[in-house]
Amino acid sequence: MLRRAKPLLGTLVEVAVSAATVELEWRAAIAAFQAVADVHRLMSFHEPDSDVTRLNRYAHTRAVEVDPRTYAVLRRARDLGRASNGRFDCAVGGRMLALGALPRTIGVGGHEAATWRDVTLLPDSQIRFRRALALDLGGIAKGFAVDQAVEALARCGAEAGCVNAGGDLRVFGDRNWPIAIRRPEASGELVPLAPLRNRALATSAGTFAPGGAIVDPATGRFRTRPKSVSILAPNCMDADALTKVVWLAEHPPLDLLERLDARAIVLGPSASVSESVSELRRAAG
Amino acid sequence: MRQLDRALLWLVAPPAIVLTALPAHATQYLSTEQAQRALFADANRFEPVSIAVREDQRNELKKISGTRTPLPLDRIWRAMRDDQLLGHLIVDEVYGKHEFITYAAAIDANGAVIGIEILDYRETHGGEVREASWRKQFRGKRSSDALELDADIVNISGATMSCKHVTEGVRRLLALYDIALKGR
């Protein structure tokens, strides 16, 4: 088992890989990091040449062609926007800019009332915005990057692997991986889960980021409920996006979770695990 | 309710105990030798470089970067292919409130960063990493003397690990390069 970690996506990205030979492990890990770096290059809100920056500058004036990977993420973001009644909204950037949660970039302005519905997917990887908006794929691209890295590992002939991008992770292969969720307080306690096999786990916590960096699309304000939401799902892109949906939801969106073969784990501020389950049950009515 | 039952299953599946105050979660990634090979694949030789830094230069570096760990003056190598200088490799340490990271940075012959590899990542909660005694126990430890058992490494989901301190550390290394390493 080769384990490497590199600073990418503004966090530490860890790749663990097991293959028939050491050479194969190295080749697979290099491909996995490259896949993550590609997603960073394409979908960063901050990189001046990323697809996201080009869209934010020009897509309200003309159709902009993007990389097929960016297009795939935008399509999933649209589907999840629809399925969550706008709880997941990749166009929330305008409201985040208004709150000072995203840095102002020259040439990027977002209409505060813009939503995911203003992002139009045209044929041939072309995107057009119905009005100026600040697209931000921060709530989904990290999960997608993990998926891309896992696919790269498999493509290179790895037998098993785990990719963990700062807490959003996915495991694959014929083995069980020990997994824990970190509590969202300074105590940093670890809550162990049953070992994970061929699944993804993503967590969003409201208390760690300054101001609680999740903006409620409904109100345009931060939600700072002190808890963390973890999602188990077949892929990390869905898991990543669903953490925000569940985090913002008044009631757990059980139908949506069911449809995506996902499960939610909600940790309260200082509640024990079992109390957290009753909290979830109470919340579900 | 079926989803809730399944969620419950996940939560109570063994071992559903809360580990309190896990003293030090640690992962060892690469040895210095592995990092050398990863960052300078074309090199066939690594020569240790020893440099000295004057007091005023030290103060200059302190101003440039918030990094407080000792300067890695004895962990610098020249990456050579035969007689050609490919660049330098520096193994450095940084720490945040809860984490202590050893990393290797590769700088090419023009002073640009080629790549970074994390060698060790160690964290503690309920304790400050600033305590020198806590950090000291890891000094000089490398993967070669690792007690690593893959089965015991827990993959953690949750609070995003920041790479802020590594970024600050690299900024200091680039300044160190300009002051003392350029052309050597």
What is the structure's pLDDT at A71? 98
Cα nearest neighbour of B160 on chain A: A166
Of A192, A228, A274, the CB nearest to B158: A228
pTM of the model: 0.85
A-B contacts at Cβ under 8 angstroms: 167
A254 near A246, Cβ under 8 Å? Answer: no
Closest alpha carbon to A280 in B9, B34, B86, B129: B9
What is the structure's pLDDT at B28? 87
Q: How far is A132 from chain B (nearest CA, A)?
A: 31
Of A7, A194, A265, the CB nearest to B166: A7
What is the structure's pLDDT at A274? 40
What is the structure's pLDDT at A194? 86
Does domain A51-129 sit in CATH 1.10.1380.10?
no
B118–A189 C-beta distance less than 8 A: no
Of A179, A182, A265, the CB nearest to B11: A265
Report whether pLDDT(B75) > 90.
Answer: yes
Rounded to an integer, what distance in angstroms lies between the CA atom of residue B61 and that of residue B67? 9
Report whether pLDDT(B2) > 80.
Answer: no
Instruction: List phi, psi (to 5°) of A119.
Output: -100, 115
Exposure of A283 in the CB half-sphere (CA atoms within 13 A): 21
Confidence of residue B85 (pLDDT cuts 50, 70, 90): very high
Give the whole-number percent of chain B exceeding pLDDT 90: 41
What is the structure's pLDDT at B103? 95
Closest alpha carbon to B184 in B91, B107, B115, B116: B107
What is the structure's pLDDT at A87? 87
Rounded to an integer, what distance in angstroms lies between the CA atom of residue A171 and that of residue A234? 10
Rounded to an integer, what distance in angstroms lies between the CA atom of residue B121 and that of residue B26? 6
Check residues A226 and B139 and name the one with the higher pLDDT.
B139
Average pLDDT over chain A reads 84
Contacts of B115 in chain A (CB under 8 A): 6
Confidence of residue B47 (pLDDT cuts 50, 70, 90): very high
Rounded to an integer, what distance in angstroms lies between the CA atom of residue A147 and that of residue A85? 25
* Cβ–Cβ contact A22 with B under 8 A: no
Rounded to an integer, what distance in angstroms lies between the CA atom of residue B99 and that of residue A64? 42
- Encode pLDDT of A13-30 as tens digits: 999 999 999 999 999 999
What is the structure's pLDDT at B147? 40
Report whether pLDDT(A109) > 80.
Answer: no
Ramachandran category for residue A271: left, alpha or beta (phi over 0 → left; psi -120 to 50 → alpha): beta
SS3 labels along A175-196 = CCEEEEEECCCCCCCEEEEEEE
What token pair was written down for A267? 């940790």
Check residues B158 and B72 and name the one with the higher pLDDT.
B72
A17 near A130, Cβ under 8 Å? Answer: no
Residue A64 bridge partners (DSSP): A127
Rounded to an integer, what distance in angstroms lies between the CA atom of residue B175 and that of residue B146? 32
Report whether pLDDT(B171) > 50.
Answer: yes
Contacts of B20 in chain A (CB under 8 A): 187, 189
Rounded to an integer, what distance in angstroms lies between the CA atom of residue B73 and that of residue B51? 6
SS3 labels along A45-91 = CCCCCCHHHHHHHHCCCCCEECCHHHHHHHHHHHHHHHHCCCCCCCC
Report helix, strand or coil for A230. Answer: strand
Closest alpha carbon to A259 in A78, A72, A71, A84: A84
Report whether pLDDT(A234) > 70.
Answer: yes
Return the domain boundaries, chain B.
22-181
Rounded to an integer, what distance in angstroms lies between the CA atom of residue A125 and that of residue A119? 13
The residue of A12, A23, A150, A214 whose CB has the most chain B CBs within 10 angstroms, and thus the best one to mutate to test that interface, is A12
Return the domain boundaries, chain A.
1-45+138-166, 51-129, 176-285
* Count of Cβ atoms closer than 10 Å to residue B84 Cβ: 10
Contacts of A264 in chain B (CB under 8 A): 3, 7
Report whether pLDDT(B148) > 60.
Answer: no
Of A164, A263, A277, the CB nearest to B3: A263
